[in-house]
């Protein structure tokens, strides 16, 4: 069925940022006059893609406006080989590669090797859109038969002093030497170079030149082949600037006009659980999904950036879709939260694991433990003053629970739906 | 007299993937709360290990590729000194990949033997790429108490004559899924498959390790009790969850 999409398909994969990048790209594609067919956030296995195709098609299996239909699908890391074989995409966008749910995906190197196999099977006309700053992603260019287009971040005022403990790709994929960094942005993302074989972050076609992140969102200036663009996005944090760069690079790969890129990004609203703000009983609620160390470390850095105290709920579940192993919370820098919470409730079926982590992080003992998600949320909303923002940071299945609860209480019922 | 615990953290940049640094965080806090000075030295590839400079050694788990590099370094650089340290009574905790590498050898899924350093008389074999990986929550009986954690390993470990298992598996697979043993003990060296991280949720084992480490240099060590209500609650809850039916 996917072959009946007049414009073909593009796939978005990676550890973090798939959903947001795919949504950003859809907006651009729409602004360019195409009609995207997309899977719902998180439904990124083959059946989620198939469902999206079926929903968009007529009974005949044809797509209305077929000449203008482009598939924009986010794809689970491990599903990529199958998705490439089935959809024969004209572009594949890679965001980043970090440790994530090791009990489910296996080792980081295993995911990398699956991706290499998938990229090898792409045709010569397919483009891979790669993060130049992630050595594990950039090295995929070596196995691509078609064009590789890179994006990266150039504003070194955002760099941190050195690689932190959650960096995963520290070693050169060609010769095995330890990489050296002129700038580190987060995790192992930065301007890297191998002192052994000289391999280095490739020159990027789409470059982030300047970034401001405030409570209202991001202001990102990027250099594109058609000139500079400046966009405002209702998203927070450096990691979301990377998602925006990935979407812009994908749009460039698809031949989108500069104007469509600016217009598409300008009309963006976040997906539920990806930083969408909701209003519940006069309180702003901001739900930010975080499911692995790199993602949660970025979320924490973003939350503490303005130096203000915050009302927080941390939700940790260990269902299969979350990863059964909760050891990863010990790789998260909760130490950053010391002094930040005005109120803090930990919840989820692994609430006590989270409580223990916070205790050892020196966050203080004033937080509450309430394993029941509904009770925890209710209590947190009560503890948040009118007009203030409650930050809710759930793992994946906890996010689904939160979505349902807030929908019920907010009474709107539609605010998370995909466009 | 100031009491100090000197820890060698082996390969923190390579053997760091499963949250095992929680063990270091835990040891540090539990020492500090008792006025015990805590010193960590990170030893990476090529760094010399000097047995007399440490009371406790820690090595965590890693991925296969990293493990290969560490295996070479252990054999070429640190292995002999590590064996010497353990034989002289220095305490050691090795988790998962680190545990495997301290045995006599590790046979990879492809049948290649990576030499170990023989701190523990045991060997580990990966039965091949198609074999089931041992993944899940674990509860172990240890000295009349429980230890709780999470295992995720392909290799099956078999103990030799000179070592005893750390504990008996109540829930999970343990060393090899067959003989009911989990981990290994030789003198004051402990090996285990348990992530979690292990020590924060098992404070009695954490304190046992601190005591054992300090006893080498300080004759009388009596650790003062700590407020472990959160630890005990997390432990009890983890045991309860490990024994429940798996969620959908």
Do A183 and A316 belong to one domain? no
CB B176 within 8 A of CB B165: no
Query: Is residue A329 within 8 angstroms of chain B, CB to CB?
Result: yes
Q: Which two tokens stand for residue A256?
A: 């989108």
Looking only at the bridges linking them, the beta strands covering B37-43 and B4-10 are parallel
Indicate the residue among A266, A293, A315 that finishes a domain. A266
The pTM assigned to this predicted structure is: 0.90
In a domain, A182, yes or no: yes
Please calculate the CA angle B87-B148-B240 and round it to the nearest 5 degrees. Answer: 165
Do A40 and A159 belong to one domain? yes
Query: Is residue B145 within 8 angstroms of chain A, CB to CB?
Result: no
**B19 to chain A: which residues are within 8 Å by CB?**
327-331
Do A218 and A105 belong to one domain? yes
Whether residue B59 has pLDDT greater than 60:
yes
**What is the least distance, in Å, from the CA of B238 to any CA of chain A?**
8
Do A193 and A133 belong to one domain? yes
In a domain, A411, yes or no: no
Q: Residue A196: how many CB atoms within 10 A of its CB?
A: 15
Indicate the residue among A250, A266, A282 that finishes a domain. A266
pLDDT at B247: 54
pLDDT at A42: 77
**What is the least distance, in Å, from the CA of A115 to any CA of chain B?**
17
Best to test chain A binding among B24, B132, B197, B200 (most A CBs inside 10 Å): B197
pLDDT at A14: 96
CB B156 within 8 A of CB B176: yes
Return the residue of B nearest to A163 by Cα: B13
Return the residue of B nearest to A367 by Cα: B230
Query: Is residue B120 within 8 angstroms of chain A, CB to CB?
Result: no
In a domain, A290, yes or no: yes
**B200 to chain A: which residues are within 8 Å by CB?**
330, 356-357, 360
Q: Which residue stretches of chain A have pLDDT < 50?
A: 411, 413-419
Instruction: Read off the pLDDT band of B246 (50, 70, 90).
Output: low
Helix residue ranges per DSSP H, A290-395: 293-304, 351-360, 373-383
Do A362 and A225 belong to one domain? no
Our answer to whether residue B96 is catalytic in this structure is: yes
In terms of residue numbers, what domain contains A242?
A: 2-266
Whether residue B154 has pLDDT greater than 90:
yes
Our answer to whether residue B195 is catalytic in this structure is: yes
What average pLDDT does range B15-25 have in this prediction?
92
Query: Is residue A352 within 8 angstroms of chain B, CB to CB?
Result: yes
In a domain, A340, yes or no: yes
In a domain, A23, yes or no: yes
Q: Which of B29, B136, B234 sits opposite A355 (nearest CB)?
A: B234
Helix (H, G, I), strand (E, B) or coil at A266: helix
**What is the least distance, in Å, from the CA of A109 to any CA of chain B?**
8
User: Given the structure tokens 């009574």, which residue do they identify?
Assistant: B89
What average pLDDT does range B33-55 have in this prediction?
96
Which backbone phi and psi does B164 adopt, to 5 degrees? -110, 155
**A334 to chain B: which residues are within 8 Å by CB?**
none
- The 10s digit of each residue's pLDDT in A87-143 is 999 999 999 999 888 877 778 888 999 999 999 999 999 999 999 999 999 999 999
Indicate the residue among A231, A249, A266 that finishes a domain. A266
Do A217 and A298 belong to one domain? no
Whether residue B248 has pLDDT greater than 60:
no
**What is the least distance, in Å, from the CA of A304 to any CA of chain B?**
22
pLDDT at B177: 97
Q: How far is the C-alpha of A165 from the C-alpha of A274, rounded, in Å?
A: 25
In a domain, A104, yes or no: yes
**B69 to chain A: which residues are within 8 Å by CB?**
176
Check CB contact under 8 Å for A103 and B150.
Answer: yes
A residues 3-62 closer than 8 Å to B (CB): none
Check CB contact under 8 Å for A170 and B13.
Answer: yes
CATH of the domain at A399: 3.90.190.20
Q: Which of B17, B63, B234 sits opposite A352 (nearest CB)?
A: B234
In a domain, A366, yes or no: yes
Number of domains in chain A: 2
Return the residue of B nearest to A368 by Cα: B230
Do A341 and A226 belong to one domain? no
Q: Which of B13, B234, B247 sits opposite A353 (nearest CB)?
A: B234
Q: Selecting from 3.40.50.300, 3.40.50.880, 3.40.50.620, 3.30.110.40, what CATH number does the domain B4-242 have? A: 3.40.50.880
**A165 to chain B: which residues are within 8 Å by CB?**
12-13, 16, 21
B177: nearest Cα among B145, B195, B154, B148 = B154
Do A281 and A244 belong to one domain? no
Check CB contact under 8 Å for B22 and A168.
Answer: no
CB B64 within 8 A of CB B29: no
**B234 to chain A: which residues are within 8 Å by CB?**
352-353, 355-356
CB burial of A328-351 (b: ≥16 within 10 Å; e: otherwise) equals: bbbbbebeebeebbebbbbbbbbb
Q: How far is the C-alpha of A281 from the C-alpha of A123, rounded, in Å?
A: 53
In a domain, A419, yes or no: no
- The 10s digit of each residue's pLDDT in B63-82 is 877 888 899 999 999 999 99
**What is the least distance, in Å, from the CA of A381 to any CA of chain B?**
24
């Amino acid at each position: 069925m996917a072959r009946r999409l007049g414009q073909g398909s593009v796939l978005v994969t990676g550890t973090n940022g798939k959903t947001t990048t795919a949504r950003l790209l859809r907006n651009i594609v729409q602004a360019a006059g195409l009609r995207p067919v997309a899977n719902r956030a998180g439904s990124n296995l083959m059946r989620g893609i198939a469902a999206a195709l079926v929903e968009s098609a007529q009974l005949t299996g044809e797509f209305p406006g077929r000449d203008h239909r482009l598939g924009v699908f986010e794809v689970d890391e491990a599903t990529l080989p199958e998705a490439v074989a089935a959809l024969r995409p004209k572009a594949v966008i890679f965001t980043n590669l970090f440790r994530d749910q090791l009990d489910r995906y296996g080792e980081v190197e295993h995911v990398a090797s699956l991706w290499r196999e998938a990229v090898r099977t792409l045709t010569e006309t397919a483009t891979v859109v790669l993060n130049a700053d992630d050595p594990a992603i950039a090295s995929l260019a070596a196995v691509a038969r078609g064009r590789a287009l890179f994006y990266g971040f150039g504003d070194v005022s955002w760099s941190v002093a050195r690689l932190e403990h959650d960096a995963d790709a520290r070693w050169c994929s060609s010769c095995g030497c330890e990489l050296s960094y002129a700038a580190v942005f987060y995790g192992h993302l930065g301007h890297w170079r191998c002192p052994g074989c000289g391999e280095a972050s490739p020159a990027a076609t789409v470059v982030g030149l300047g970034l401001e992140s405030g409570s209202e969102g991001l202001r990102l200036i990027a250099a594109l082949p058609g000139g500079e663009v400046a966009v405002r996005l209702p998203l927070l944090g450096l990691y979301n600037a990377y998602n925006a760069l990935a979407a812009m690079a994908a749009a460039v790969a698809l031949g989108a006009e500069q104007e469509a890129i600016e217009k598409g990004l300008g009309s963006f609203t976040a997906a539920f659980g990806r930083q969408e703000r909701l209003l519940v009983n006069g309180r702003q609620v901001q739900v930010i999904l975080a499911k692995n160390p790199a993602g949660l470390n970025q979320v924490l850095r973003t939350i503490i950036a303005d130096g203000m105290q915050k009302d927080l709920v941390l939700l940790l579940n260990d269902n299969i879709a979350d990863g059964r192993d909760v050891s990863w919370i010990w790789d998260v820098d909760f130490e950053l939260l010391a002094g930040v919470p005005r109120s803090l409730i930990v919840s989820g079926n692994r609430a006590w694991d989270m409580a223990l982590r916070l205790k050892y992080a020196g966050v203080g003992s004033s937080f509450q433990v309430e394993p029941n998600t509904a009770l925890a949320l209710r209590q947190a909303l009560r503890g948040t003053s009118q007009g203030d923002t409650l930050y809710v940071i759930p793992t994946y299945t906890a996010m689904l629970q939160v979505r349902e609860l807030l929908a019920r209480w907010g009474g709107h019922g539609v605010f998370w739906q995909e466009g | 007299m100031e009491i100090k615990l000197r820890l060698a953290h082996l390969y923190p940049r390579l053997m760091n993937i499963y949250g095992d640094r929680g063990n270091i965080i835990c040891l540090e806090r539990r020492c500090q709360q008792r006025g015990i000075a805590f010193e960590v030295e990170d030893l990476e590839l090529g760094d010399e290990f000097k047995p007399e400079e440490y009371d406790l050694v820690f090595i965590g788990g890693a991925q296969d590729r990293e493990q290969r590099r560490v295996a070479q370094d252990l054999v070429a650089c640190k292995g002999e000194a590590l064996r010497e340290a353990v034989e002289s009574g220095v305490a050691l905790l090795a988790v998962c990949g680190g545990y495997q590498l301290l045995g006599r050898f590790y046979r990879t899924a492809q049948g290649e033997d990576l030499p170990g350093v023989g701190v523990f008389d045991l060997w580990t074999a990966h039965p091949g790429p198609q074999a089931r990986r041992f993944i899940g929550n674990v509860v172990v009986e240890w000295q009349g108490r429980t230890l709780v954690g999470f295992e995720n390993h392909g290799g099956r470990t078999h103990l030799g004559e000179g070592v005893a298992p750390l504990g008996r598996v109540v829930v999970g697979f343990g060393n090899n899924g067959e003989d009911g043993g989990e981990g290994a003990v030789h003198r004051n060296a402990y090996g285990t498959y348990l992530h979690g991280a292990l020590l924060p949720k098992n404070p009695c084992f954490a304190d046992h390790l601190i005591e054992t480490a300090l006893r080498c240099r300080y004759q009388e060590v009596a650790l003062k009790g700590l407020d472990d209500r959160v630890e005990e609650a997390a432990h009890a809850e983890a045991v309860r969850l490990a024994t429940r039916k798996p969620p959908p």
